Structure 1
Amino acid sequence: MPTITTKDDVEIFYKDWGSGQPIVFSHGWPLSSDDWDAQMMFFVRRGFRVVAHDRRGHGRSQQVADGHDMDHYADDLAAVVEHLELTDAVHVGHSTGGGEVVHYLARHGQDRAAKAVLISAVPPIMVKTESNPDGLPKEFFDDVQEQVATRRADFFREFAEGPFYGYNRPGAEPKEGIIANWWRQGMAGGAKAHFDGVVAFSQTDFTADLQAVTLPALVMHGEDDQVVPYADSGPLSAQLLPNGTLKSYPGYPHGMPTTHADVINNDLLEFITS
């Protein structure tokens, strides 16, 4: 398996397919680079180089006890980019991966990047605070951590067959393969990484990161996102990005890169090539 070793000796698995302008994909919690299959196959067949890694503690990367925070996530992404000598890269992040992308660009600079895309992403901040009164209460995320710590397998199954893909909505048609694939990816990772990752994606304030990213940036968000509520994320992120554009999707769920891959892929292609 292709891997790199970070400065703090963590082995990170990555995929690197094709040639041409690189598109770098950062996955959501608690998944792996496999969640980007529909996008990576779409773009590699259209002459792009597609790269994705498994976040530390996730998928095939090393299950370490520590470092499950946005600084380490951004540094690991930087290590992959530098190892592969990527330039003119388009960075695409879904959910937690969207936070990883903006934190990477703000922390490590934008010289190697061309554009950024945030899909159903966690920025600016998810948890309720004095400055973010419409956020979700910390108790909600505490409960997610408790579920991960005590009944992870059942919780992951319920999450995939429920709010993640909107399969709990009236008239929805759950796809067993999609649900099973989500569960497979989640259970391949480490419980400690998933437990700590809840704090990373929910309590990190990405406001300054968003303001620092001056590249052309597309924010894509489903209006029926039950995981990262639309009103508290998409429009606010687009406003904070100096060169941001918001594209909203009525009725689309959090996992729309999978459930609506045909639409998302073509919209990504239009943005990347424009």
Structure 2
Amino acid sequence: MGYYVNVEENVNVFVEDIGQGKPVVFIHGWPLSHKMYEYQFNALPAYGYRCIGIDLRGFGKSDRPFDDYSYDRMADDIRAVVDALSLENFALVGFSMGGPICIRYMTRHQGHQANKLVLLGAAAPSFTQRENYPYGSTKEEVDTLIHGMYRDRPKTLAEFGTQFFESNVSEPFKEWFTGLNLEASGHGTIRALEALRDEDLRGELADIQAKTYIFHGKKDQICPFEFATIMHDHIPNSQLIPFEESGHGLFYDELEYFNTKLVEVLLVD
């Protein structure tokens, strides 16, 4: 079942709601949509989980305002959906850019109704290199990516996608996955990439109170594994679960293992 939730005046976000049971809220990465979780939504309802996939503003089927793609704004959008659906004791799952947005939700809203956080190849605590933080992309590299979005978004995203998976995904799968990227608005893709470049969550990791599970590919070329070790070191009550044969797309690189581990952590009280 799919529907829209109003998150602020004149802005609605699309929600896919599948299955019954314990709620799990899924936040996608840049510049994808909830559809990236197809192979999780196919499996989890059979284990008694209600899968709630949110298309962030500007992405997928959600509305596409021109401005404000900050982590604060998108965390507030998640809060609006949680309240609209009266969710309680839900697990919050975030991939890539969705990871830091989920972290911001947990700190900005004090983990409102969420009892568990699952970070998947998260672009956190900072996607870009900073003083005393020599990890990830440089700001100049992200600026080059942004420039490519203005000139030839399909080509730029196709080139970016070559770094995504370590497994030998089929050509039809690659085409489908690239198509998910192109469903996003051009301006939302750019504004969210600016947020990825500029936001820094290092100072708030210690404020996360919920149990946190960090899934991360050891071969990740987009969000290096150092991200995961830093998060694990600074998030209280966190567990690091490495995926030895995965790149950034760990949800598909080791699909069966990924789904098995996800169900395991969701079962933990």
1:154-169 correspondence runs (5 A): 154-160=155-161, 162-166=162-166
Whole-Å separation in 1 of the counterparts to 2:37 and 2:127: 23
1:187-227 CA distance string (max 9 Å, x none) = 11111111111121232111233211111100011011011
* Paired residues of 2:135 and 2:224 also in contact (CA < 8 A): no
Whole-Å separation in 2 of the counterparts to 1:247 and 1:159: 25
Residue 242 in structure 1 maps to residue 236 in structure 2: yes
Residue 257 in structure 1 maps to residue 251 in structure 2: yes
Compute the displacement of 1:110 (Å). 1.9
Whole-Å separation in 2 of the counterparts to 1:176 and 1:69: 34
Provide the residue aligned with 1:106 in structure 2.
107
1:1-274 correspondence runs (5 A): 1-160=2-161, 162-166=162-166, 173-231=168-226, 233-274=227-268
TM-score for both structures, normalised by structure 1: 0.93
Whole-Å separation in 1 of the counterparts to 2:42 and 2:252: 12
| Alignment: residue pair count | 267
1:33-59 CA distance string (max 9 Å, x none) = 000111122111211111011110001
Q: One-letter code of the match for 1:206?
A: L
Compute the displacement of 1:177 (Å). 2.4
- SS of equivalent residue, structure 2 residue 152: helix
Structure 1 residue runs of 5 or longer lacking an equivalent are: 167-171
Q: One-letter code of the match for 1:209?
A: E
Whole-Å separation in 2 of the counterparts to 1:195 and 1:217: 29
1:58-98 CA distance string (max 9 Å, x none) = 01011210111101110111111111111110011100011
Compute the displacement of 1:135 (Å). 4.0
Identity %: 27
Structure 2 residue runs of 5 or longer lacking an equivalent are: none
Whole-Å separation in 2 of the counterparts to 1:144 and 1:251: 27
* Paired residues of 1:122 and 1:202 also in contact (CA < 8 A): no
* Paired residues of 1:123 and 1:237 also in contact (CA < 8 A): yes
Range with bigger deviation, 207-216 or 186-195: 207-216
TM-score for both structures, normalised by structure 2: 0.95
Whole-Å separation in 1 of the counterparts to 2:160 and 2:252: 15
- SS of equivalent residue, structure 1 residue 3: strand
1:122-153 CA distance string (max 9 Å, x none) = 11112121132334211110011011111111
* Paired residues of 1:220 and 1:248 also in contact (CA < 8 A): yes
